[in-house]
Amino acid sequence: MRWLHYNKTRQNEISEHERILSRIDAWWDEFSRNAERLEGLFRHVEDWDLPDWMHRHLQGIQPELMWEYGPAVKVRGHRLVITPETNSELRPLAEAIVARAPQLKGWEFYSYRLAETLEAALSTVKSRSGLDISDVTVAMNVGDDNRIDLAFRWDRIQSSDDQAFDAAFVATESLLGEKILDRWVGVINLVDHQTPPEHGQRFLPLDRMRPTFDALVNHTRSQLPAEPYSLSVDDGQWAGLKLQPEEARDYPERCDLLTSITCNPELIAATFSNGPFYSERYSRCKETFCYLKVDGSDESATDYQDRDDMEEAVRNALAAQDVGALIGAGTGLRYSYMELALTDVDRGIAAIRRAMREGNVPRRSWILFHDAHLAAEWVGIYDDSPAPPMDKVEL
């Protein structure tokens, strides 16, 4: 079920949304009633099954949600993190849960695991992996898809050791925070102390990891266009892409794409990468990258003569509202595609829907999103557009 862009004209979606909100409020009511018991549990004067209680009440909202308690960072007390971890498409739900949290003295609530001090991170790694990594060093460089790759090196552990990789992963999450891990970390490698450094590779102590990582992110962002695509799209070097999809009865996402032309091939290639895509790695103008998908097998009449007419309509609609730009287009075995960079998602979606409805495009036409946390979201061009083919995420 989509969460942010659910159809407010469909009673079944409204009812499901309200049902989940009711579960969220019931969870927080239960939490508030047991806040003192939680305090007692952390002070070791209460003895009860916390995992079972969390499973019954929090994970009753969505079983894939994870949780973690820890010390508060802004007040004296405790924090609770509610996170979907690698199930990024559930991130909007986790954020909605945290947004509805009550104001409770001595409590903080977050939807990402926070970055920790080096001392706390070393303790976390020790407790979760069983390893002491105080003598580990780390090297960083900008890798594929504008992500930062990490290489951890220490003396006492073989680089093939799974336990060592677990320690490196936990150290990354603990020192950088879960949000940065999700959005900016690329490959995590293990390097044996006998392996000579690669050209230009500098291994640093762990207390230098966060500032060095931040500097690399800032440098990467500084290389991105200073203006949104709506002001620079005509200046780009347009290039074509060619793929070889396999025939199927239907195609989720862009699985039938044959050819595509774009003003930024690197960006479009990143949307096909195995790693999660996030718009912030390719725009410093708060643009959201998404795409329009139109079913070309629908024989219903349309006022547009061809895809060029549709592209022109989209281009004009976005320009008229100053809410984004068309940055690419493609043809698939069944669907036509238009790549979009929106500076205002809600207004941009509204402008595109109007333009496409005026052109009487097929009912099976949608706006979908590249960002990993929006993978379950979609917007039909019409209120009665059916759901697009996609792997459903049940909330």
Is residue 6 domain-resident? no
Three-class SS state of 359: coil
DSSP code at position 208: G
Look at the block and give the residue holding tokens 């992963």. 169
Looking at the fold, whether 164 and 125 belong to one and the same domain comes out as yes
Strand partners, 365: 294
* Positive/negative CA dihedral, 6, 11, 16, 20: positive
Three-class SS state of 245: coil
Q: Kindly give, in sequence order, each residue whose CB lies less than 8 Å from that of residue 348, ignoring residues fewer than 6 positions away.
A: 318, 321, 323, 324, 340, 342
Phi, psi of 82 (to 5 degrees): -115, 110
Is residue 289 domain-resident? yes
* Residue closest to 387 by CA, chosen among 373, 369, 366: 366
Domain count, the chain: 3
Is residue 233 domain-resident? yes
Is residue 252 domain-resident? yes
- Domain edge (last residue) among 222, 240, 264: 222
Is residue 385 domain-resident? no
DSSP code at position 380: E
pLDDT of residue 220: 97
pLDDT of residue 162: 86
Alpha-carbon Rg for the chain, nearest whole angstrom, is 24
Strand partners, 379: 367
Strand partners, 342: 288, 324
- Strand order of the β-sheet with 204-205 is 185-192, 148-154, 137-142, 204-205
Do residues 151 and 199 lie in contact, with contact meaning Cβ atoms separated by under 8 Å? no
Looking at the fold, whether 315 and 201 belong to one and the same domain comes out as no
Looking at the fold, whether 275 and 311 belong to one and the same domain comes out as yes
Q: pLDDT 10s digit of each residue in the chain, 395 long?
A: 899 999 999 999 999 999 999 999 999 999 999 999 999 999 999 888 999 999 999 999 999 999 999 999 999 999 999 999 999 999 999 999 999 999 999 999 999 999 999 999 999 999 999 999 999 999 999 999 999 999 999 876 554 588 899 999 999 999 999 999 999 999 999 988 777 777 778 999 999 999 999 999 999 999 999 999 999 887 667 999 899 999 999 999 999 999 999 999 999 999 999 899 999 999 999 999 999 999 998 766 677 878 889 999 999 999 999 999 999 999 999 999 999 999 999 999 999 999 999 999 999 999 999 999 999 999 999 999 999 998 643 34
Domain assignment of residue 54, given as a range: 11-110
- Domain edge (last residue) among 162, 197, 222: 222
- Domain edge (last residue) among 205, 222, 239: 222
pLDDT of residue 192: 81
3-state DSSP: the chain helix, strand, coil percent, rounded to 5?
Answer: 40, 20, 40
What is the value of pTM for the model shown? 0.93
Where would I find the H helices in 198-336? 209-222, 229-232, 265-271, 307-321
Tens digits of residue pLDDT in 193-239: 777 777 778 999 999 999 999 999 999 999 999 999 999 887 667 99
Looking at the fold, whether 100 and 20 belong to one and the same domain comes out as yes
Do residues 190 and 164 lie in contact, with contact meaning Cβ atoms separated by under 8 Å? yes
Three-class SS state of 55: helix
DSSP code at position 337: E
d(CA 334, CA 348): 25
Is residue 391 domain-resident? no
Is residue 357 domain-resident? yes
